[in-house]
Amino acid sequence: HGDPSIALEGWLLLSTGFFDGPKLVQDQLHHHLSSNRHTGFFSALQAHMRRAAVDLVEHKKFLERQREKTLALKIGDGFSDMTLAGSDGASAIGSGLTAAAAGLNSTNPQEEFVPQGHILPVLSAVRWICSGPHTGMQNLMRTQQAGEGSVDMIQEIVNFMLQLEHELLDAISQGNKQPLLVAEKLFRALRVLVRGPNWHAFHTLLSTKIFECIN
């Protein structure tokens, strides 16, 4: 149907049948994906990776909004407590801040961040498809026969890692384990893509200069 989510889920369903499984199935999948008729699969992977990168930025903004609401409520409660000392002005300010924060929450009282990208399923798909390792699938993940439309999943993963790097220190300090989990899965996916060793894939990884940012 042209929807990257549907395409990805379909291929994931197929790939679950051969996790570390029969090479024959991987060979057949490689044969089909090598055709220009199936380049939409790689475009779907790329689309989800890039959407997940946007999610990183939007999630950070979401957390900032949540902190602002919490702070406004705390300040409002603080001013309201001052009424015990007889400060009508403080009471008015406190009521105003509390009402403003309540107004923000009332727009979506159960607001939750819903990511639009699916980074973990994408990384799982890459690992499953290339397991073995399957050199043909490793190479196909770097370049396809689609010319200008070719997708390099090594570069896509590295690009995501570089963006995620800025979030890791905040995640560690705030006890947020999700970015750390994603970072671990990113490294695992890269490992599968170059395992063998696949020197062409490893040289591609070296050219991204990822090792300069490894710390």
For residues 108 and 71, the model is more confident at 71
Residues of the chain above pLDDT 70, percent: 63
| 3-state DSSP helix/strand/coil % of the chain, to nearest 5 | 80, 0, 20
Tell me: the pLDDT tens digits for 8-38?
Answer: 666 666 655 555 455 777 888 888 888 766 6
pLDDT at residue 92 is higher than 90: no
SS3 168: helix
pLDDT at 107: 47
Note whether 190 and 157 are within 8 A (CB).
yes
pLDDT at 78: 55
pLDDT band at 137 (very low <50, low <70, confident <90, very high): very high
Cα–Cα distances (Å) from 10 to 88, 125, 213, in that order, read 63, 11, 35
Average pLDDT over residues 172-189: 82
Question: Mean pLDDT for the chain?
Answer: 74
Average pLDDT over residues 153-165: 90
Q: Residue 88 and residue 97: Cα distance in Å, rounded?
A: 14
For residue 71, count other CB atoms closer than 10 A to its CB: 12
Cα–Cα distances (Å) from 47 to 2, 40, 65, 91, 190, in that order, read 12, 10, 27, 51, 18
Q: Residue 67 and residue 76: Cα distance in Å, rounded?
A: 14
pLDDT band at 61 (very low <50, low <70, confident <90, very high): confident
Q: Residue 57 and residue 50: Cα distance in Å, rounded?
A: 11
Can you give the pTM of this predicted structure? Answer: 0.69
Q: Residue 47 and residue 44: Cα distance in Å, rounded?
A: 5
